[in-house]
Amino acid sequence: MDTEILYRPSYTMVQVKLAPNEEIRVEGGAMVSMSAGMTLQTKMEGGFLKSLARSVLGGESFFINTYQAPVQGGEINLAPVLPGDMFTLDLNNDSLFVQSGSFVASSMGVEIDTAMGGAKTFFASEGLFMLEATGTGPLILSSYGAIHNKTLNAGEKYIVDTGHIVAFNKDMRFEVKSISGLKSTLFSGEGLVVELTGPGRLLMQTRSVNAFLAWLVPQLPNRSD
């Protein structure tokens, strides 16, 4: 599988070249175009319960699309719903927590599941659940806005608004907290933050969907208007 990222940074699309008979797992609605001869299989990845958890808790599609190239190979173009950047991570027996909504596609060697336990509990307070990507192979993600990459050294701490998190290494320690107390959290315009401790890699997006909606919704006309 070869990937090329086009039209960065605002309206990015990724072009994926597949070897003969190679398969790719794609989030529903992400396909833009593809070469002739590609076949599509739609199924509940991991069975009913895992698919239900991924849909209800992870914010992803109940069904996962698997595209397979024909004997001569094929091409598929992918893009997310929101404007912003896309990028490919090459996992090597790694495990990442990924913001729900950022997953676009992966090789069949990468398993996508709803992150249970600490990450689910941690982000539930802001309606944000994490997916867990584990395995070996390319993982294609998207961000709302541009992507900012930061590597934390061992013991280094870093604080991020939860609405700006895209992904981070699963073995990083993290803790949810308010900036300086309940009153500040409610009236400062900032929500909850997460303090992460290295070593590990952290991916952030320069825009927040929640912040955009908080601005947009009051501007919309209602029936009384």
Position 175 scores a pLDDT of 84
Whole-number Cα distances in Å, 183 to 122, 177, 188: 20, 13, 8
The 3-state DSSP class for residue 166 equals strand
If one counts the domains in the chain, the total is: 1
Query: Is 90 in contact with 137 (CB distance < 8 Å)?
Result: yes
Residue 50 pLDDT exceeds 90: no
pLDDT for position 4? 97
Asked, for residue 224, whether it belongs to a domain, the answer is no
Q: How far out from the chain centre does Cα 21 lie?
A: 26
Q: Given pLDDT bands bounded at 50, 70 and 90, which one contains residue 60? A: very low
Gap between the Cα atoms of 183 and 193, Å rounded: 14
Q: Report the pLDDT value the prediction gives residue 20, as an integer from 0 to 100.
A: 98
CATH number of the domain at 97, please: 3.60.160.10
What sign for the dihedral angle of Cα 196, 86, 105, 44? Answer: positive
Q: Is the model more confident about 190 or about 93? A: 93
Is 92 a residue whose pLDDT tops 90?
yes
Q: Output the CA torsion 26→30→35→40 (10° steps).
A: 40
Q: What is the pTM of this model?
A: 0.81
Tell me: the pLDDT tens digits for 162-212?
Answer: 889 999 999 999 887 776 554 444 444 456 788 999 999 999 999 988 787
Determine, yes or no, domain membership for 223. Answer: no
pLDDT interval class at 123 (50, 70, 90): low
Average pLDDT, integer, range 90-115: 89
Whether 225 maps to a domain, the answer reads: no
pLDDT score for 213: 79
Closest by alpha carbon to 27, among 46, 56, 54?
Answer: 54
Residues 32, 13 contacting (CB under 8 angstroms): yes
Q: In the structure encoding, which two tokens stand for residue 112, read together?
A: 């996508």
What does 82-120 look like in DSSP terms, one character per residue? SSB-EEEEEEEEEEEEEETT-EEEEETTEEEEE--THHH
Q: Higher confidence at residue 123 or residue 21?
A: 21
> With bands split at pLDDT 50, 70 and 90, how would you rate the model's confidence at 104?
very high
- Identify each DSSP E strand in 118-156 by its residue range: 130-142, 147-152
Residue 121 resides in a domain: yes
* Parent domain of 202: 2-218
CB neighbour class for 107 (10 Å; exposed up to 12, middle 13-18, buried from 19): buried
Sole residue written with tokens 């309606």: 127
In tens, the pLDDT along 2-19 reads 999 999 988 999 999 999
| Mean pLDDT rounded to a whole number for the chain | 82
